[in-house]
Amino acid sequence: RGGAFMTAWMLHNEKENPLYSEFDYLLEIMKEHEVTLSMGNGMRAGAVHDATDRAGIQELLINAELADKAQAEGVQVIVEGPGHIPIDEIATNVQLMKRVTNNKPFYMLGPLVTDIAPGYDDRVAAIGAAISSSLGADFICYVTPAEHLALPTPEEVYEGVISSRIAAHVGDMIKLKKTRDLDLEMGHARRDLDWARQFAVAMNPDRAQAIRNERMPADTDACTMCGDYCALKIVNRHFSF
């Protein structure tokens, strides 16, 4: 929207983008009020087919220069990235942006890695966000299942946040090794068939416990996926941990 609004204003008035022409004054205001500047990009692709095109790259280079200027003036700055990128172009975009912006904090708007899953865009964005985060992106954007369809309900916002938290955790497993400790703890809890500990470690304990409670097996040690054929129960009969 912002890019469309600004483009329409510039064409209608036949004038330069005022946020660009008055950037020095804008920095004065931001510095006075200690506001962090987020360098958005109005030319980013709205579809994966247009990802990493000339317009987007040229805008990135301009934003990188402006971000350097902001930092030199004492204004904190985040540089935003694209929102629709196929998986095979994510690494290129992250590495390029971190390089040309001198490793400034980088914010990915997802990205969505396909455009054909409306109603599931929270999951589509989580795929791109996990990869982006693992490669060095510093911020990720949450997306709801209603993206491109409607304003989200509170429930859809919740689902979007959960998807983003999963993506952030997956990325942090690469950048912050201690994040894997939670996965190790879950592995131990599953090995021990310790359901209380599994729920405690789970990202959404209430949902995990609700699903199990709805389909509780006769043998409460296992679950209804395997029942008596639970691999862990079979192994634990012969090994002591």
Give the tens place of pLDDT for each residue, 96-143: 999 999 999 999 988 999 999 999 999 999 999 999 999 999 999 999
The separation between the first and the last C-alpha atoms of the chain, rounded to the nearest angstrom, is 57
Which band of pLDDT confidence, cut at 50, 70 and 90, is reported for residue 223?
Answer: confident
Domain assignment of residue 190, yes or no: yes
pLDDT (0 to 100) of residue 53: 93
What's the pLDDT score for residue 73? Answer: 95
Identify the pLDDT of residue 240. 65
Structural domain of 197 = 181-236
Residue with tokens 């036949």: 14
Does the residue 241 lie in any domain?
no
Do 126 and 48 fall within a single domain? yes
Q: Write down the pLDDT at residue 219.
A: 73
Domain identity same for 204 and 160:
no
- Tens of pLDDT, residues 202-214: 999 999 999 988 8
117 plus 27 within the same structural domain:
yes
Residue 60: predicted pLDDT: 92
At residue 221, the pLDDT reads: 79
Q: Do 194 and 115 reside in the same domain of the chain?
A: no
Please indicate, yes or no, whether residues 63 and 107 belong to a single structural domain of this protein. Answer: yes
Q: Is the domain of 109 the same as that of 199?
A: no
Spatial distance between the Cα atoms of 233 and 222, rounded to a whole number of angstroms = 8
- Give the residue from 123, 142, 175 where a domain finishes: 175
Same domain, 140 and 166: yes
Give the pLDDT mean for 64-74.
Answer: 95
Predicted pLDDT of residue 155: 97
What's the confidence (pLDDT) of residue 241? 55
pLDDT tens profile 175-197: 887 889 999 999 999 988 899 99
Please say whether the beta carbons of 201 and 182 come within 8 A: yes
- Whether 227 and 117 map to the same domain: the answer is no
Claim to verify: residue 60 and residue 143 sit in the same structural domain:
yes
What's the predicted TM-score (pTM) here? Answer: 0.88
High-pLDDT (> 90) share of the chain, %: 74
Q: What is the pLDDT of residue 235?
A: 81
CA distance 237 to 109: 49
Confidence (pLDDT) at 41: 86
Section 52-65 average pLDDT: 93
Using DSSP's 3-state secondary structure scheme, residue 100 falls into helix
Structure tokens belonging to residue 142: 């949450």
Please indicate, yes or no, if residue 9 is contained in any of the structural domains. yes
What is the count of structural domains for the chain? Answer: 2
Domain contains 109 = yes
Residue 222 DSSP symbol: S
Q: What is the CATH number of the domain that holds 169?
A: 3.20.20.540
Domain co-membership, 116 together with 71: yes
Residues 6+ apart with CB under 8 A from 26: 19, 37
Q: Are residues 40 and 98 in the same domain?
A: yes
